[in-house]
Amino acid sequence: YPTHKEYYKKCLEYIKPDKVIHINATLDQREISGAYKAAHTHALVSWLETPGLASLEAGLFGANLVIGMCDSTLEYFKNYAYFCNSYDLQSIYKAIKQSLIDERNHFKADEFIRKNYSWQKITQEYFEIYSNLVKVIK
């Protein structure tokens, strides 16, 4: 937001208070997890996005995910999110609309994220990589 103030202001103009809750504050971890648990859809459609922790966390709590389409997000989220073109408002609109029509956790992203991106799974993979490197170096 600090580097794109005008864009941020424009986004605020389009918010419909009966449909979207905009939280203009920093939330602690308990508040963030509560927001994810309550959210039907989490949209992160920025142009420069990597597979954000916010999307992983929201998906883990069962929110439908709307994500800007790029190689890294496609690799991370596969068929477990609604993808859109971040440069195309109609594409963003259609993805968000469909995510709100479908039931919450439509693609079962929570199961996919838990299986593939838990800290236990990631640390196990790192351990195996490092173990193999140590064997090669010896």
Q: For the domain that residue 11 is a member of, what is the CATH number?
A: 3.40.50.2000
Domain presence at residue 131: no
- The β-bridge partners of 10 are none
Domain presence at residue 73: yes
What residues make up the domain containing 24?
5-113
* DSSP three-state, residue 2: coil
> What pTM was computed for the model?
0.81
What pLDDT, in 10s, does the model give residues 81-137? Answer: 999 999 999 999 999 999 999 999 999 999 999 999 988 988 999 999 999 988 888
Alpha carbon 115 to chain centroid distance? 16
What pLDDT, in 10s, does the model give residues 17-70? Answer: 887 777 777 888 889 999 999 999 999 998 776 777 899 999 999 999 999 998
**In terms of pLDDT, which residue wins out, 124 or 138?**
124
Q: b/e string for 55-68 if b means 16 or more Cβ within 10 A?
A: bbbbbbbbbbbbbb
Q: Which helix (H) or strand (E) holds 70?
A: none
Domain presence at residue 24: yes
The domain total for the chain is 1
